[in-house]
Amino acid sequence: MKYELALKIYEIDYSFIIKNYLDPQMWQKEWTLFVYGDKSFVIYLNSIDTRNKSINFGIRSTYTRQGYTDHDSYTFNYNLGNSNIESLKRQVNGGIESLIRTMEMYMTHDTDEYQKARDLESEHEENLHDTAERFLDDNGITIEDVREAYIDYYMNKMRFSYTNEVSNMFNHDLLFDVYMVYYKASNQIDKFNDLKKEYQQKHQTTYQDIMEEINEKIEYLETSEYQDELTDNLEDIV
């Protein structure tokens, strides 16, 4: 993988921005921080807090998602009395990393794997609710507060989440190259090496194991054993 491909990193004169933050000409400006492929990040002055003597900066990402241009934003405060340029740069790095994570989260939600996990959870939730409803009806429970409490308890006890597992599976994965490019370009060598090691270890088994488990669970929902499990976990109402 060539980590320098389609990459532009811009040096920002933060000292100049901070020195001139009261100049109205600065308020509508944006400064490009990082461009990689169709993904770009800009920084701008978002607001000024005179009482707390701080500047609120905003970072905005622009990227293509499902054929459309999308944006996310991240804001942070720079204290004029207690902060310095190095701390500002660390905040900028943290902001860009946060925006990459957000970008990756939305991309994860678009995957077939996530949709399959979400559909599985939805079907299971419906089955749980219907099973509890029938049980309450069969036992003549009509008090709404009691019904709601019982259904909530039963569903919480029986609930499972595969969407979280899929999200964790794709964490630092769908945009692995973007993370790596930015860590390398911004000289965050420890994060670069740690993520490279994590990626290599993760890809030995994680994806295959999780998807096999999801597919097995989907098949299990069609069995009588699954229906038995739903009813066996119902508890008598005293």
DSSP class per residue in 178-227? HHHHHHHHTT-HHHHHHHHHHHHHHTTTHHHHHHHHHHHHHHHTTSHHHH
Answer whether residue 5 shows pLDDT above 70: no
Q: Is residue 202 part of a domain?
A: yes
| Residue 81 to residues 14, 18, 88, 176, Cα–Cα distance (Å) | 15, 12, 13, 37
CA distance linking residue 125 with residue 142, whole number of Å: 22
Shared domain check, 225 and 138? yes
Shared domain check, 174 and 126? yes
CA distance linking residue 41 with residue 186, whole number of Å: 13
Q: Is residue 40 part of a domain?
A: yes
* Banded model confidence at residue 58, pLDDT cuts 50, 70, 90: very high
Q: Please tell me the predicted confidence (pLDDT) of residue 6.
A: 56
Shared domain check, 221 and 130? yes
Q: Please tell me the predicted confidence (pLDDT) of residue 238.
A: 59
- Regarding predicted confidence, which is higher, 61 or 165? 61
Task: Say what percent of the chain tops pLDDT 90.
Answer: 63
Shared domain check, 79 and 117? no
* Residue pointed to by tokens 């701080």: 54
Shared domain check, 171 and 121? yes
Shared domain check, 135 and 36? no
Range of the domain at 35: 7-83
- Regarding predicted confidence, which is higher, 220 or 12? 12
Q: Please tell me the predicted confidence (pLDDT) of residue 113.
A: 92
Query: Who contacts 177 (Cβ-Cβ below 8 Å, separation ≥6)?
Result: 1, 3
* Banded model confidence at residue 135, pLDDT cuts 50, 70, 90: very high
Q: Please tell me the predicted confidence (pLDDT) of residue 3.
A: 41
Q: Is residue 97 part of a domain?
A: no
Task: Say what percent of the chain tops pLDDT 70.
Answer: 95
* Banded model confidence at residue 222, pLDDT cuts 50, 70, 90: confident
Shared domain check, 134 and 51? no
What tens digit of pLDDT does each residue of 206-217 get?
A: 667 777 877 887
Q: Please tell me the predicted confidence (pLDDT) of residue 1.
A: 40
Shared domain check, 125 and 55? no
Average model confidence (pLDDT) for the chain? 89
User: pTM for this one?
Assistant: 0.82
Q: Is residue 101 part of a domain?
A: no
What tens digit of pLDDT does each residue of 65-111 get?
A: 888 999 999 999 999 988 799 999 999 999 999 999 999 999 999 99
DSSP 11: -
Shared domain check, 152 and 203? yes
What tens digit of pLDDT does each residue of 13-57 get?
A: 999 999 999 999 999 999 999 999 899 999 999 999 988 899 999
Shared domain check, 211 and 159? yes
| Domain count of the fold of the chain | 2
Shared domain check, 53 and 135? no
